[in-house]
Amino acid sequence: MSLRDNPENGRQTAAAAPDPAAPPPEMVSRLRAIALAGLIGLIVLGLAWELWLAPTGSGTLALKVLPLMLCVAGLWRHRMYTFRWLSLLLWLYVLEGVVRATTEVGVSRVLAVIEIVLCLVVFSAASSYIRWRLRHAPREAAEEAATKAAEGGR
């Protein structure tokens, strides 16, 4: 619970936290779906790139997708912390894509460009998700508190 100013008496009152069992708003679900689809696409691309399409060495670079795999569960559960650190982690993959797009030729260059695009899609969806949730959290908490107060007054 957090403290909120009560306009009726000027005192601070406890505001109820949003119900975790309640279904998320449609915009949040859409942004999460975009982020999840892009993330899974990035994982599949990383594995296919390093193991089959244009392998470099013995395929040990396929391990680069492990940090991304850790994010899938957090995104699935709408965890803000995961969205935040994923949006920072993605820039390492963008950097790899830029380096490989400018230094390699053929299939690897195309795959690098696809990696950059997928990273930008996931980053945009994750940052929009974070922004939407932070902007609407106080309103949702106030609406829920008003609903609970109305139900308690009956």
User: In the chain, how many domains are there?
Assistant: 1
Please report whether residue 130 resides in a domain: yes
Please report whether residue 104 resides in a domain: yes
Which of 84, 93, 104, 105 has its CA nearest to residue 45? 93
Please report whether residue 2 resides in a domain: no
Q: Which amino acid is at 90?
A: L
In which domain, by residue range, is 65 found? 28-138
Please report whether residue 147 resides in a domain: no
41 Cβ contact partners less than 8 Å away, ≥ 6 residues apart: 118
Element (H, E) at 13: strand 12-15
111 Cβ contact partners less than 8 Å away, ≥ 6 residues apart: 45, 49, 53, 54, 100
pLDDT above 70: percentage of residues in the chain? 82
Please report whether residue 117 resides in a domain: yes
pLDDT digits (tens, 9 = 90+) for 60-100: 888 999 999 999 999 999 999 999 999 999 999 999 999 99
Which of 112, 87, 115, 89 has its CA nearest to residue 31? 87
Please report whether residue 125 resides in a domain: yes
Check residue 61 and give its pLDDT. 85
pLDDT at 20 over 70: no
pLDDT (mean) for 88-115: 96
Please report whether residue 21 resides in a domain: no
Angle at 102 between CA 98 and CA 107, to 5 degrees: 95
- Global confidence as pTM: 0.76
Please report whether residue 146 resides in a domain: no
